[in-house]
Structure 1
Amino acid sequence: MVDDDISYPQQSSLPSLELCELSRLEAKYIACVHTKNPILDLVTLHDLISQVAEHGLDWSARTCLVSMVCALGAISEEYTHAYTPDRISGSCLPHDEAFKYWDIAMKRLGFVIGQNNIESVQCLCLTGELTIELSLPKSILERMDYPYTFPFPPNIDRELVVGEDIHGERRTWYYYLAEIACRHLINRIIEATQLKILDPSAAGIERMLRDLEMFETQVNDWYLSLPPSIKFPHPFGTIQPLEDEINQLLRARYLGIRELCCRPFVELVINYDLSNMPSELLAKVGSIASQGLQYCMFRLQAVPPQYRHHGLWFQLPNSTTCALVLLAADRARHELQPNAIEHLKMPQGWREQILTTHDLLAGYWKSRQGSVWAYFQVFQWALDGCITSL
């Protein structure tokens, strides 16, 4: 959760365990969560929901899993690509209902950890994984050789229940596999030492350019491999959030990878003296850095209205980062240094987009506290020190 400074009281009453209410939350979970993370078998889940409604709560992993599903179904919001008045509001979120189900699940997690079954693993996956935010040593699991790059999809052509169509389930798995492939590519980019500025010389930059070409080829191959049902249009000009959530999420991944590949070149231009570099190399670095700024712009333009979803924790700092990169580039352009800055071009309309992003974050966090509030404070600090009038 992003509101770690807010304490929620322990729930003194149980939530509804009526079948109609559990089924409503199950359907909402499927629509808002399962379509992006299909780790549960829906036929089995439907049976577990019916069992809890009929027999009540026990201390099993199955009860924990049902409670987790209901909590996520209660707190999640459906995707919308259009901005509406008062869309961003903490008061409209059903926190109380969600935390009642979460309280049930939380009391059973200790038992779940000690059990060796599929429901226990599913519970721990749905609980959330935030260790990426902590400065801890990497798990030994990251050094294990897993023989399969991708999971095997289920038999989607079988008869499904709870109103789910075969086309929707197949499309969910297309997205899930595309997301995994994208994650593999991001990991390779992050681990690539050639894209890190270890040697800001002409030879070092040439090595960076070769790696950039390799990763751009890989992301292009990824895009071309997308099935038509989940493929999104290439970004061009001024972009808007897409109507379909899966297309929107995959495009966000694509824009993020493109921007990540170009970011070292933005850093080269604004932080290093490249005056001794050949003019052709300076022009190439400046062009790639300009592309990176354009992808920062695309990432900000593509942000949909804020809603509760599984990627919100990462989306907020990503938006802040892109805004700060644009502000840093503008500041560097006003510092007369003999480097590639003269080849750097700011995206059209970037000032207006910075203010739009600022207002979006301010509106979302105006009634909240928590660790993500620090992102907005850094954003505000950067705006206060901005050289260009916004």
Structure 2
Amino acid sequence: MTTSLQHLLQNVVEPESPTPEANSTVPGVSAPASTSRKRPAPRGTAAYPRRRAVKACETCRSRRTRCDNKKPSCSFCEKVGAKCVTGPTDFSSFDPASLVIIERLDRIEQFLRSEPSDESTAKESTRKEQDSPANIDSPVSNPPNGPDFSTFTIETVLSWPVFQNRFDSRLDLKALLNHEVLDAPSAIVNSPIENFLAKDLEPGAYTRLLNTFLKHVHPANPILDVSLLCQYVQQACINGIQWDAPSCLVLLVCALGSIAEAFHSQHQSNSMFSRNSSSFIMARSYFEASQKRIGLLLSRNGILEAQCFFYSGVYLMTLQQPMAAWRFFVQAAAISQGFDFPRKYQQSENKGLTGARHDRVSQESVYWTCLKSELEVRMELSLPGFGLQDLSYPTSFPSPPLENLEEDAARAWYYYLAEIALRRLANRVLYNLFQNQEEGRFPRISLMVDSVIAFEKQAADWMTSLPPMFSLATPEAEDDVLKFVLRGHLLDCYEWMYFPFMLEAINYNRRDPLLDEYTTKGLAMSVERIHKNKPGFYHRHHGAWLMLRSCTRSALILLAASHSEYVQDLVPEGWKEAVFSTMDMLRFWEDEVGDARDRLQILTELMSDLGYRM
């Protein structure tokens, strides 16, 4: 690089002297006497015309005052806090030599920008090495090349050295998810959908499905204005289903209301029993009718349109179709990126506009929910962000609703805020891991201990901050679905904290008393995750597939430890029961979920290696 730079500098041409034609006296010809008595002109007068001083900034020009051209801001702009903008430099009055020099300097600048120096690279490396727990409270920013979510998936655990490449041919998650579930044929589904809607939707059916939706689906994502939703349903009862966004939302509410169930419901021996039930067949009809209308919403960017795409994703997640669901979450998140609630917030505060504040609350809640759902599914699928935020969340929480909330609405809102706070903690944990990993390993594992201690304290503070209705100190058997989900997300945080220690110890024998402490915590957390998620093993909801994945990952980590020669003394009690429970869960879903069937086979093989059979 130094040689190239010297070459650029050496090639700067010397300024040319003024041409003969530019002088008033031609060599070899005597000048008139009158001319010889004049004072000689300064050298280069004709070739180097005088030029005006540097232009004033736009602010000073508009005021018609002198500008001192200080950089980056002139004195006046600095004093009044104005943005100091200077128009592009006019080179038309520059002499030829100056133009050549400017051109060469531009080339040198471009060269330096294209090839950063070793010194700057070293500084960047030093900065990464010096990352400390003091920074873990900072807002999350994305790694330069984007976060590698695959580090923490089932597929990565299956590729660990402890398994000796035996599962390398079974790492294609997308191929497994392409497994097509054949639902039972139905006369309703095979008939024209519009005929079904016109004939079979009674006001009583609308009301029943709406109530089920509000009881079992809405609390997990309280992004709808319930009174406005009831108006949409009432209009559908009176005028029928139209070809607009409100009717699309009503159909999605009916679809979800048809398949929603209570948390502690009794279940059959296999998930396909419910898939082939009449309620699921009806739900399918509602959903297909909604999809005939959702294409009309693609060119719009309102709150209602984002809600329709979001609940389409929720329906597909409930049917264990994460790839299809993710596409809808992406579209919902893309719409919400265009919301203007930061600007409207300032306007509404200044003007005291209740309607504007209400719109802002709705926009914020939809924005947060779409962002959270898209990120959760994308992380598990190891998909790129496509321009959406990877790990960065807005710095503020959503604004609370303006009206006084009833008990159920207040509960949903507290859950919503608690989940967002926990998601932020999870993102900080993940970003800390991304900063410290190199090619799937954590070479500076000892330096991560202080960060983990700080994260543990943040998790404890989060639990302390929960309102009594969401206290996690109560027995798990008393949990409703909201507390169940919060427990699961908290376990995610802990398992990610300890993941690097388990990876390094199980596969590479990174052992010492301090590292063993966190490896032991991680393995114990894997057992605890499976135990605490067991009440929801057979519950169908839009986070069920994510629960299947996280519990299966925990079971595989326990089996990896049991197969490793390095950590036999750290394997916790109860690990076998935890793995068998996970196998029961996968067996329930195997006919419906393509990756569940394959992962069940893998767990069975690994348990057989250890002499355990079912």
| TM-score computed with the length of structure 2 as normaliser | 0.55
Alpha-carbon contact 2:254-2:286 (below 8 Å) kept: yes
Q: Following the alignment from structure 2 to structure 1, what is the Cα–Cα distance between the partners of residues 513 and 241?
A: 66
Is residue 21 from structure 1 mapped to residue 205 from structure 2 by the alignment? yes
Q: Following the alignment from structure 2 to structure 1, what is the Cα–Cα distance between the partners of residues 401 and 273?
A: 39
Q: Within 5 A, what are the aligned runs for 1:156-235?
A: 156-157=403-404, 166-192=406-432, 193-194=434-435, 196=437, 204-233=444-473
> CA 1:347–1:146 in 2, change beyond 3 Å: closer, same or farther?
closer
2:482 to 215, 239, 246: 246
Aligned to 1:258: 494
Alpha-carbon contact 1:296-1:323 (below 8 Å) kept: yes
Aligned to 1:384: 608
1:273 Cα shift? Answer: 3.4
**In structure 2, what residue type is equivalent to 1:73?**
G
Deviations 1:9-35 (A, max 9, x none): 654242532111111111111111111
**In structure 1, what residue type is equivalent to 2:385?**
K
1:345 Cα shift? Answer: 2.5
The alignment of Structure 1 onto Structure 2 pairs a total of residues equal to 360
1:60 to 230, 244, 248: 244
The answer to which of 317-326 and 243-252 deviates more is: 243-252
1:288 to 514, 518, 524: 518
Q: Following the alignment from structure 2 to structure 1, what is the Cα–Cα distance between the partners of residues 257 and 282?
A: 10
1:213 Cα shift? Answer: 1.5
Is residue 351 from structure 1 mapped to residue 576 from structure 2 by the alignment? yes
> What residue ranges of structure 2 are gaps of 5+ in the alignment?
1-176, 314-324, 328-377
> CA 1:54–1:4 in 2, change beyond 3 Å: closer, same or farther?
farther
Aligned to 1:141: 388
**In structure 2, what residue type is equivalent to 1:157?**
N
Q: Secondary structure of the residue that 2:220 maps to in structure 1?
A: coil
1:145 Cα shift? Answer: 8.2
Q: Secondary structure of the residue that 2:217 maps to in structure 1?
A: helix
1:4 Cα shift? Answer: 4.8
Aligned to 1:163: none
| TM-score computed with the length of structure 1 as normaliser | 0.84
Q: Following the alignment from structure 2 to structure 1, what is the Cα–Cα distance between the partners of residues 528 and 547?
A: 14
Q: Following the alignment from structure 1 to structure 2, what is the Cα–Cα distance between the partners of residues 186 and 384?
A: 35
Q: Following the alignment from structure 1 to structure 2, what is the Cα–Cα distance between the partners of residues 3 and 95?
A: 21
1:230 Cα shift? Answer: 0.9
Aligned to 1:130: 326
Is residue 153 from structure 1 mapped to residue 338 from structure 2 by the alignment? no
> CA 1:329–1:72 in 2, change beyond 3 Å: closer, same or farther?
same
Deviations 1:330-380 (A, max 9, x none): 111xx2x5xxx36x5322222122212212221332x43534433323323
Q: Following the alignment from structure 1 to structure 2, what is the Cα–Cα distance between the partners of residues 85 and 122?
A: 30
**In structure 2, what residue type is equivalent to 1:218?**
Q
Aligned to 1:270: 506
> CA 1:325–1:102 in 2, change beyond 3 Å: closer, same or farther?
same
> CA 1:387–1:149 in 2, change beyond 3 Å: closer, same or farther?
farther
Aligned to 1:162: none
2:304 to 119, 139, 145: 119
> CA 1:380–1:348 in 2, change beyond 3 Å: closer, same or farther?
same
The answer to which of 89-98 and 260-269 deviates more is: 89-98
Q: Secondary structure of the residue that 1:175 maps to in structure 2?
A: helix
Deviations 1:140-181 (A, max 9, x none): 2317987553221213416xxxxxxx1111011110111111
Q: Within 5 A, what are the aligned runs for 1:283-362?
A: 283-303=513-533, 304=535, 305-332=537-564, 335=565, 337=566, 341=567, 344-362=569-587
1:241 Cα shift? Answer: 4.5
**In structure 1, what residue type is equivalent to 2:216?**
C
> CA 1:358–1:240 in 2, change beyond 3 Å: closer, same or farther?
farther
> CA 1:286–1:197 in 2, change beyond 3 Å: closer, same or farther?
farther
Q: Following the alignment from structure 2 to structure 1, what is the Cα–Cα distance between the partners of residues 442 and 423?
A: 28
Aligned to 2:272: 90
1:321 Cα shift? Answer: 0.6
Q: Secondary structure of the residue that 2:570 maps to in structure 1?
A: coil
Q: Secondary structure of the residue that 1:45 maps to in structure 2?
A: helix
Is residue 370 from structure 1 mapped to residue 594 from structure 2 by the alignment? yes
Aligned to 2:260: 76
Q: Secondary structure of the residue that 1:141 maps to in structure 2?
A: coil
> CA 1:145–1:182 in 2, change beyond 3 Å: closer, same or farther?
closer
Q: Secondary structure of the residue that 2:572 maps to in structure 1?
A: coil
Q: Secondary structure of the residue that 2:388 maps to in structure 1?
A: helix
The answer to which of 128-137 and 352-361 deviates more is: 128-137
Q: Following the alignment from structure 2 to structure 1, what is the Cα–Cα distance between the partners of residues 589 and 557?
A: 21
Alpha-carbon contact 2:498-2:522 (below 8 Å) kept: yes
Alpha-carbon contact 1:358-1:379 (below 8 Å) kept: yes
Q: Following the alignment from structure 1 to structure 2, what is the Cα–Cα distance between the partners of residues 39 and 228?
A: 23
1:112 Cα shift? Answer: 1.4
1:87 Cα shift? Answer: 6.1
Alpha-carbon contact 1:293-1:325 (below 8 Å) kept: yes
1:135 Cα shift? Answer: 5.1
Higher relative contact order (CA 8 A, sep 6+): 1
CA RMSD of aligned residues (A): 2.7
Alpha-carbon contact 1:88-1:364 (below 8 Å) kept: yes
Q: Secondary structure of the residue that 1:35 maps to in structure 2?
A: helix
1:5 to 174, 177, 180: 180
> CA 1:25–1:85 in 2, change beyond 3 Å: closer, same or farther?
closer
Alpha-carbon contact 2:502-2:519 (below 8 Å) kept: yes
Alpha-carbon contact 1:11-1:99 (below 8 Å) kept: no
Q: Following the alignment from structure 2 to structure 1, what is the Cα–Cα distance between the partners of residues 610 and 326?
A: 33
Q: Following the alignment from structure 1 to structure 2, what is the Cα–Cα distance between the partners of residues 189 and 42?
A: 35
The answer to which of 191-200 and 37-46 deviates more is: 191-200
> CA 1:194–1:212 in 2, change beyond 3 Å: closer, same or farther?
farther
1:136 Cα shift? Answer: 4.2
Alpha-carbon contact 1:61-1:108 (below 8 Å) kept: yes
Alpha-carbon contact 1:32-1:309 (below 8 Å) kept: no
